[in-house]
Amino acid sequence: MAMEFTKYHGLGNDFILIDNRSSSEPIVTPEQAVKLCDRHFGIGADGVIFALPGENGTDYTMRIFNSDGSEPEMCGNGIRCFAAFVAELEGSSQKSLYRIHTLAGVITPQMMPDGQVKVDMGIPRLFAGEIPTSLALVDEKVINQPLEVAGQTWLVTCVSMGNPHCITFVDDVAAIPLEAIGPQFEHHSVFPQRTNTEFIEVVRPDYVKMRVWERGAGITLACGTGACASLVAGVLTGRCDRKATVELPGGPLLIEWSEVDQRLYMTGPAQKVFTGTAII
């Protein structure tokens, strides 16, 4: 079967976008998504994202498969690409603000006049039971908790942006052997749903460098939910301002944890790369 797709990236975190508005189920299976994401035998991407009809009064539903075929609840860079994608599908009738149903609740991206996308990412969840992790009791927070990985003790802070994140602060983010230790965090027994892992170097309270090992996708050039979770961890541990630039290998994201409504706002780019027809 031939299937139209559009390729987008947000700071090098790249996705295959599919117009799935005529069906409430993804038209691609997780197995097909794995093949489409393959960088040698497929299109190449960190994930496949579907624009489905809205549920519960929202404009659209977003679903995503990671490059390993697993389904995360949310995707921050992906939802910026999603907003740019549906705005183009709608053409002249496009709106500037969209309400998107996701497995992590309703997320609201807004198209800014300068072409950037600002996303209301919702309220971070901090209880161990919500991450989920067995590092603390279900109604306790995990802040600066020791965790043994690869023969070393890491102080970790856990934050859910709908999807699980484990954040650890380091002196030199470039020196972290991500490929070797990332999988050991991802599959650690204290994370029953696996986890995304962020390594953060605080340069200034309003400027941090981040590298990420993503659950189900490995090393990626950027992670929007991870940047939000990392700012929250930085604030909770007294390292960061509530508004900071998170510098990723693919470029910067501006993240703000609002004191007013306790929600996270992420601003960054979404870039269309090409369209094509895949054989699945």
Residues that bind ligand ZDP (CB under 6 A): 13, 66, 72, 75-78, 163, 196, 214-217, 220, 223-225
**Of residues 201 and 214, the one with the C-beta less far from ligand ZDP:** 214
Please identify which of the residues 158, 166, 223, 240 carries the catalytic annotation. 223
Q: How far is the CB of 84 from ligand ZDP (least distance, A)?
A: 14
> HEC states along the chain?
CEEEEEEEEECCEEEEEEECCCCCCCCCCHHHHHHHHCCCCCCCCCEEEEEEECCCCCCEEEEEEECCCCCCCCCHHHHHHHHHHHHHHHHHHCCCECCEEECCEEEEEEECCCCCEEEEEECCECEHHHCCCCCCCCCCECCCEEEEECCEEEEEEEEECCCEEEEEECCCHHHCCHHHHHHHHHCCCCCCCCCEEEEEEEEECCEEEEEEEECCCEECCCCHHHHHHHHHHHHHCCCCCCEEEEEECCEEEEEEECCCCCCEEEEECCEEEEEEEEEC
**Of residues 77 and 259, the one with the C-beta less far from ligand ZDP:** 77
* Contact status, residue 221 vs residue 12, Cβ threshold 8 Å: yes
- Is 223 considered catalytic here? yes
Q: How far apart, in whole angstroms, are the C-alpha atoms of residue 105 and residue 84?
A: 20
Q: How far is the CB of 142 from ligand ZDP (least distance, A)?
A: 17
Whole-number Cα distances in Å, 273 to 12, 19, 85: 11, 16, 11
Please identify which of the residues 75, 81, 158, 228 carries the catalytic annotation. 75
Task: Identify the CA nearest to 225 among candidates 80, 60, 38.
Answer: 80
Q: How far is the CB of 103 from ligand ZDP (least distance, A)?
A: 10
Task: Identify the CA nearest to 88 among candidates 280, 275, 251, 276.
Answer: 275
Q: How far is the CB of 2 from ligand ZDP (least distance, A)?
A: 27
Q: How far is the CB of 154 from ligand ZDP (least distance, A)?
A: 19
**Of residues 157 and 196, the one with the C-beta less far from ligand ZDP:** 196
**Of residues 205 and 249, the one with the C-beta less far from ligand ZDP:** 249
**Of residues 205 and 252, the one with the C-beta less far from ligand ZDP:** 252
Q: How far is the CB of 4 from ligand ZDP (least distance, A)?
A: 22
**Of residues 90 and 179, the one with the C-beta less far from ligand ZDP:** 179
How far does Cα 160 stand from its chain's mean position? 11
Question: Which residues are identified as catalytic?
Answer: 75, 223
